[in-house]
A = this chain, B = another copy of it.
Amino acid sequence: MKPHHYWMEKALQLAREAARLGEVPVGAVLVCGDTLIATAHNRTESLQDPTAHAEMLCITAATTHLRSKYLHDCTLYVTLEPCPMCAGALSWAQIGTLVYAAPDPQRGFTRFQPSLLHPKTQVLTGPLATEALTLLKAFFQERRK
């Protein structure tokens, strides 16, 4: 099994690609075992669709590909703590494991009670958090100029 760091690096590459395109730099990859099932970055600007977060695009791509509404045996890697919308979607998909890099104290799902995730979902945080946050901060500083 590849380490979490390996997959988060791929998610971070997608976040960097998002930044180049003027999208909020958040990337995600969805993995089952050692198989990559879906990749996405935020596309809310290009699609003008507030639901087009990296996590949502990954979930829809993966469930369509697997022909299953459920992702019990899968892991989602995402560079930023999911928002309530994405956490709610991960709950419906009953995702096996969620790994996120940087926390989001303003919009992150962990601010909310009761938990927005499915009770069986495992949560890990931390890999490449500094890199993910640095990318986000640089993006928003540039936009505020």
Q: Which residues of A contact B (CB under 8 A)?
A: 44-45, 47-52, 56, 59-60, 63-64, 67-70, 83-89, 91-93, 111-114, 116
Contact of A59 among B51, B67, B88 (CB under 8 A): B51
Number of this chain's copies in the assembly equals 2
Contact B84 A51 (CB under 8 A): no
- Give chain B nearest CB distance to A64 CB in angstroms: 6
Contacts A89-B85, A112-B113, A112-B116 known; A67 to B51 CB distance under 8 Å? Answer: no
From the candidates B59, B64, B88, B93, name the one contacting A84 in the complex (CB within 8 A): B88
A63 to B51, CA, bound (A): 10
Q: Which residues of B contact A45 (CB under 8 A)?
A: 69
